[in-house]
Structure 1
Amino acid sequence: MLTKEKLLESIRDFPTEFSIDDLVERLIFVQKVENGIAQGERGEVYTTEELKGKLAKWLR
């Protein structure tokens, strides 16, 4: 979940002027990264071999 601290940190990194679209895009990115980190910490990840197996049907 995106915290107020992460939100403020993201806004601080922006230039003085920016569009709402840029802000929303950045916040979505930050939230997806946070979600990925949390999934990794919970062990919800695939090994390289598992991923290759899943991708094999798409790469034929």
Structure 2
Amino acid sequence: MLTKKQVMTTIKGMPETFDTTQLFDRILLLNKIEEGRQQIKEGKGFTTEEARKKLKKWLK
């Protein structure tokens, strides 16, 4: 979950003029990053070695 502060920081970092799609894309990216961080805190992440093994299988 995002905080109001995170969203406001994102908006302040935008150029003076932008379309809503650009803003939504940035907020969506920020949200996905926060979800990933939360999953890691909950022990749902993978070690680098585990990720490499999974990636190797997917790329076959």
- What TM-score results when the alignment is normalised by the length of structure 1? 0.80
Q: Which residue of 1 aligns with 2:21?
A: 21
> Which residue of 2 is the match for residue 6 of structure 1?
6
Q: Deviations over 1:14-53 (max 9, x none)?
A: 1111110100000000101111111112221112333233
Which has the higher mean CA deviation after the structures are superposed, 3-12 or 48-57? 48-57
What RMSD in Å do the two structures reach over aligned CA positions?
1.4
Percent identical residues: 38
* Runs of 5+ unmatched residues, structure 1: none
Note if 1:50 corresponds to 2:50: yes
TM-score by length of 2: 0.80
Moved more, 34-43 or 18-27: 34-43
